[in-house]
A and B are shown apart, each in its own frame.
Chain A
Amino acid sequence: MTSESVSLRRLVLDLVEHIDLLPMLARQHFRGQFRAASLGLAWSVFQPIVQGLVLTIIFTRVVPIDAGVPYAAFAFTGTATWAFISTSIVGGVSSIIDTSSLATKVYFPRLLLPATPASSAVPTYTISLLLAALLSVGFGIRPAWTWLALPLVMFGTWLLVVSLSFVTALMNVYFRDVKHIVSSATLVLFYITPVIYPVRIAPRSVRLVLELNPFTGVLQATRWAIFGSEVDVALARPLLVSGLWTAVFAVTGLLAYRRFDRVAVDRL
Chain B
Amino acid sequence: MNAIEVQGLTKRYRQYRDEASILMRVVAPHRRRSREVITALDEISFTASPGETLGIIGRNGSGKTTLLQLLAGVSAPTAGRLRVVGRVAPLIGVGVGFNRELTGRENVYVNGRLLGMGTDEIREKFDAIADFSEIEEFLDTPVKFYSTGMFLRLAFSIAIHTTPDIFVLDELLAVGDIGFQLKCNERIRQIQQSGATVVVVTHNLQTVQRLAARAILLDKGRIVHDGKVEDAISAYHHLLHSHKRESRSAGAVIRDFGRSTPLRSADVAAVDIRLLDDQGGPTYHLLGDRPSRVEIRATFAEPVTDPLVGLSIERAGAGLLHAVLSAPGALTGTFGPDRPLTAVVEIGPRLLAGTFAARGVVQTRDADTMLGNSEPLLFEVSTSGRGFGFADLGLELLVDGHSLALIEYDRLEDGSRTEPARLTD
Q: Does B414 contact A (CB under 8 A)?
A: no
Interface digits, A105-125 against B, CB 8 Å rule (1 contact, 0 not)?
Answer: 111100000000000000000
Give the CA-CA distance A181 to B109 in the complex, in Å: 36
Give the CA-CA distance A27 to B110 in the complex, in Å: 10
Which residue of chain B has the shortest Cβ distance to A31 in the bound complex? B101
**Which residue in A35, A106, A108, A263 is a CB contact (below 8 Å) of B76?**
A263
Query: What is the minimal beta-carbon distance from B344 to any residue of chain A, in angstroms?
Result: 48
Give the CA-CA distance A239 to B201 in the complex, in Å: 54
Q: Is the CB of B110 within 8 A of A24?
A: yes
Flag the segment in B67-75, B178-186, B245-253, B326-334 that touches A: B67-75
Q: Which residues of B contact A105 (CB under 8 A)?
A: 72, 74, 90, 92-93, 96
Q: Which residues of A contact B101 (CB under 8 A)?
A: 28, 31-32, 35
Q: Is the CB of B96 within 8 A of A102?
A: yes
Q: Which residues of A contact B109 (CB under 8 A)?
A: 24
Answer whether A31 and B96 are a contact pair too, CB < 8 Å, given A4-B77, A107-B90: no
Q: Which residues of B contact A4 (CB under 8 A)?
A: 76-78
Task: Point out which of A35, A106, A107, A262 has the most chain B C-beta atoms below 10 A from its C-beta.
Answer: A106
Answer whether A108 and B114 are a contact pair too, CB < 8 Å, given A35-B101, A175-B20: yes
Query: What is the minimal beta-carbon distance from B11 to any residue of chain A, in angstroms?
Result: 8
Q: Does B388 contact A (CB under 8 A)?
A: no
Query: What is the minimal beta-carbon distance from B10 to any residue of chain A, in angstroms?
Result: 9
Query: What is the minimal beta-carbon distance from B97 to any residue of chain A, in angstroms?
Result: 5
Which residue of chain A has the shortest Cβ distance to B107 in the bound complex? A28
Interface digits, B94-120 against A, CB 8 Å rule (1 contact, 0 not)?
Answer: 001101111000100110011100010
Answer whether A177 and B74 are a contact pair too, CB < 8 Å, given A28-B110, A102-B96: no
Q: Which residues of A contact B46 (CB under 8 A)?
A: none
Q: Is the CB of B22 within 8 A of A107?
A: no
Query: What is the minimal beta-carbon distance from A115 to any residue of chain B, in angstroms?
Result: 16
Q: Does B13 contact A (CB under 8 A)?
A: yes
Q: Does B403 contact A (CB under 8 A)?
A: no
Answer whether A265 and B22 are a contact pair too, CB < 8 Å, given A102-B96, A106-B96: no
With an 8 Å Cβ cutoff, the count of chain A residues facing the other chain is: 33
Answer whether A174 and B20 are a contact pair too, CB < 8 Å, given A263-B75, A266-B13: yes
Q: Does A101 contact B (CB under 8 A)?
A: yes
Q: Is the CB of A265 within 8 A of B21?
A: no
Q: Is the CB of A3 within 8 A of B22?
A: no
Q: Is the CB of B90 within 8 A of A20?
A: no
Q: Which residues of B contact A262 (CB under 8 A)?
A: 73-76
Query: What is the minimal beta-carbon distance from B149 to any residue of chain A, in angstroms?
Result: 21
Answer whether A24 and B20 are a contact pair too, CB < 8 Å, given A4-B76, A104-B74, A266-B75: no
Chain A 7-22 residues near chain B, CB threshold 8 A: 20-21
Q: Does A241 contact B (CB under 8 A)?
A: no
**Which residue in A3, A28, A35, A177 is a CB contact (below 8 Å) of B77?**
A3
Answer whether A178 and B22 are a contact pair too, CB < 8 Å, given A104-B74, A106-B96: yes
- Size category of the binding interface on chain B: 20 to 34
Q: Does A207 contact B (CB under 8 A)?
A: no
Query: What is the minimal beta-carbon distance from B76 to any residue of chain A, in angstroms?
Result: 4
Q: Does A237 contact B (CB under 8 A)?
A: no
Q: Which residues of B contact A108 (CB under 8 A)?
A: 114
Q: Does A200 contact B (CB under 8 A)?
A: no
Answer whether A102 and B114 are a contact pair too, CB < 8 Å, given A175-B22, A178-B22: yes
Q: Is the CB of A106 within 8 A of B92?
A: yes
Interface digits, B354-397 against A, CB 8 Å rule (1 contact, 0 not)?
Answer: 00000000000000000000000000000000000000000000
Q: Which residues of B contact A2 (CB under 8 A)?
A: 78
Which residue of chain A has the shortest Cβ distance to B77 in the bound complex? A3
Q: Which residues of A contact B13 (CB under 8 A)?
A: 266
Interface digits, B121-163 against A, CB 8 Å rule (1 contact, 0 not)?
Answer: 0000000000000000000000000000000000000000000
Q: Which residues of A contact B76 (CB under 8 A)?
A: 3-6, 262-263
Give the CA-CA distance A265 to B73 in the complex, in Å: 11
Chain B 14-40 residues near chain A, CB threshold 8 A: 19-23, 25
Q: Does B79 contact A (CB under 8 A)?
A: yes
Query: What is the minimal beta-carbon distance from B14 to any residue of chain A, in angstroms?
Result: 8
Give the CA-CA distance A109 to B106 in the complex, in Å: 21
Q: Is the CB of A21 within 8 A of B113?
A: yes
Q: Is the CB of A104 within 8 A of B22?
A: no
Give the CA-CA distance A105 to B170 in the complex, in Å: 11
Q: Is the CB of A32 within 8 A of B99?
A: yes
Q: Which residues of A contact B90 (CB under 8 A)?
A: 105-107
Query: What is the minimal beta-carbon distance from A117 to any residue of chain B, in angstroms?
Result: 15
Q: Is the CB of A28 within 8 A of B74?
A: no
**Which residue in A20, A28, A176, A266 is a CB contact (below 8 Å) of B20?**
A176
Q: Which residues of A contact B23 (CB under 8 A)?
A: 177
Give the CA-CA distance A186 to B158 in the complex, in Å: 41
Q: Which residues of A contact B69 (CB under 8 A)?
A: 104, 265
Which residue of chain B has the shortest Cβ distance to A106 in the bound complex? B114
**Which residue in B74, B79, B106, B114 is a CB contact (below 8 Å) of A3?**
B79
Which residue of chain B has the shortest Cβ distance to A263 in the bound complex? B76
Interface digits, A251-268 against B, CB 8 Å rule (1 contact, 0 not)?
Answer: 000000000001101100
Instruction: Contacts A25-B110, A28-B110, A174-B20 known; list 14 others, CB within 8 Å.
Output: A3-B78, A21-B114, A24-B109, A24-B110, A27-B102, A28-B102, A31-B99, A31-B102, A35-B100, A103-B74, A105-B93, A177-B21, A178-B22, A265-B75
Give the 5 A-B CB pairs with smallest separation, nearest first.
Answer: A262-B76, A31-B101, A175-B22, A107-B73, A4-B76
Which B residues form the contact surface with A (CB < 8 A)?
Answer: 13, 19-23, 25, 69, 72-80, 90, 92-93, 96-97, 99-102, 106, 109-110, 113-115, 119
Q: List 6 A-B contacts (CB under 8 A).
A: A21-B113, A31-B101, A32-B101, A35-B101, A101-B93, A106-B74
